[in-house]
Amino acid sequence: MQHFAELFIASVLLAGLYAAMAFGLGLIYGVLRIVNLAHGGVIMAGAYAGWWLYETVGLDPYLSLIPVAAAAFLFGVVIYRLLVRRLPRGAAGGVQSLLLLFGVWLILRNIAYLLFTGNDQTLRTSYSTKALSLANASISVNRVAVFFIALAILLFLHLLLRKTYLGKAIRAVAQNPDSCTLVGIPIERIYALTFGIGTALAAAGGLLGATLFPFSPSFGSAELLKSFVVVVLGGLGSIAGTAIAALILAMVEIFSILIPGFPVYLTAAVGFVLLVLVLVLRPGGLFGQRVLG
């Protein structure tokens, strides 16, 4: 029972990290219908930005979430204005958007190699190895912090999309951009803001990841794949679905160790098997394809 409780806590905390990394990808797909492959590059850039702020000015990684997310937001808006805006909309722009954003990712990665070399970096704070005791289990302070920040991001997105004019406009654009033009919603601005918010969330996710494990310029590839699994499982465009899917993925990965004879190195594959099953049986995701619900 104790072992089970420890595994459950570990799954919930891991889900927080997965959700934090996937929100941005889900938001951008939900509104622009673009699979943002630059998401992996921004996750990596967020990790380096947080590390750089900590190493140079001593800013705590959790405090640096604000400037890093703000810078990433601006970066996202610029990328949208300069590049993404020129792509054909909808399915017609599918392949072009994949190639273009993959190119952005490669550029970001190579800039990181130039600036920081291929060395692994780590963020070490005074509380990096501190633990809390809960249900006789030792839990990393960092993992708890990441979980609560992921919850805060979920709440922020919910309030933004439900309670603000911008959120309502984002949802409207996601539902029917043509009608939005008719009623005077500036859809290009909404797209740019959404791309900016999605990019900011990716950078925040990367920074949170950097508080837990080492990173290098190749950081972001595995995270992008996990985010993709989470977003598809949760139903493209569903923010709450993303959070629940992150929990399901984390639980499947963590609890698979209890299967006798199951090799632990295959836990990552479990997520992809789940992805294939969902795509075959429920192509809209476990919680149905929603428009930013």
Partner 1 sequence: MDILRPATKLAAAAVCCAAVATAPARAQTEIKIGATLPLTGAESRIGGFYKEGYDLAFEEWNKKGGLDVGGKKMKLNLQLLDDTSTQATAASLADRLINSEKVNFLLGTYATNLVEAQSVVAEQNEIPYVNGGGAATAIYKRGYKWVFGLLSPVEILATSMMEWVDSEQKAGKLPKPASIALVWENTSHGKDFRKGVTEFAEKSKGGYKVVVDESFELGGKDFSALLDKVKAANADMFLADAHLPDYITMQRQYVTAGMCNKVISYGARGPEKQATDALGKEHVQYIVSAVWWSSQLADKNKLAGDFVQKFKAKYGGRNPEWYQALGYETARTLFTAIEKAGSLDREKVRQTLAQLKIPSILPGGELDFPAKFGQQVHAPFVVQQNMPDGKSPIIAPPDSALAKGIAPNPSCAKSASK
Q: Which residues bind partner 1 (CB under 8 A)?
A: 3, 6-7, 10, 14, 17, 113, 117-122, 124, 128-131, 138-141, 209, 212-218, 222, 226, 250, 253-257, 263-268
Shorter beta-carbon distance to partner 1: residue 214 or 283: 214
Shorter beta-carbon distance to partner 1: residue 138 or 176: 138
CB of 48 to partner 1, least distance (A): 15
Which phi-psi region, left, alpha or beta, contains residue 235 (left: φ > 0; alpha: ψ -120 to 50)?
left
CB of 223 to partner 1, least distance (A): 8
59: its two tokens:
């800013």
CB count, 10 Å around CB of 230? Answer: 29
Shorter beta-carbon distance to partner 1: residue 110 or 175: 110
Q: What is the distance between the alpha carbons of residues 180 and 32, in angstroms, rounded to a whole number? A: 14
CB of 269 to partner 1, least distance (A): 9
**Residue type at 55 in one-letter notation:** E
Shorter beta-carbon distance to partner 1: residue 113 or 156: 113
222 contacts: CB under 8 Å, gap ≥ 6: 268
Residue 262 in 3-state DSSP? coil
86 contacts: CB under 8 Å, gap ≥ 6: none
73: its two tokens:
């937001």
Residues 249 and 274: beta-carbon distance below 8 Å: yes
CB of 171 to partner 1, least distance (A): 32
What kind and span of H or E run contains 201? helix 187-210
Shorter beta-carbon distance to partner 1: residue 156 or 213: 213
CB of 270 to partner 1, least distance (A): 11
CB of 267 to partner 1, least distance (A): 7
**Residue type at 129 in one-letter notation:** T
Please count the CA atoms within 13 angstroms of the CA of 136 that sit on its side-chain side.
Answer: 5
Shorter beta-carbon distance to partner 1: residue 51 or 73: 51
Shorter beta-carbon distance to partner 1: residue 11 or 36: 11
End-to-end CA distance of the chain: 36
Q: Give the start-end residues of each E strand in the chain.
A: 131-134, 137-140
CB of 293 to partner 1, least distance (A): 28
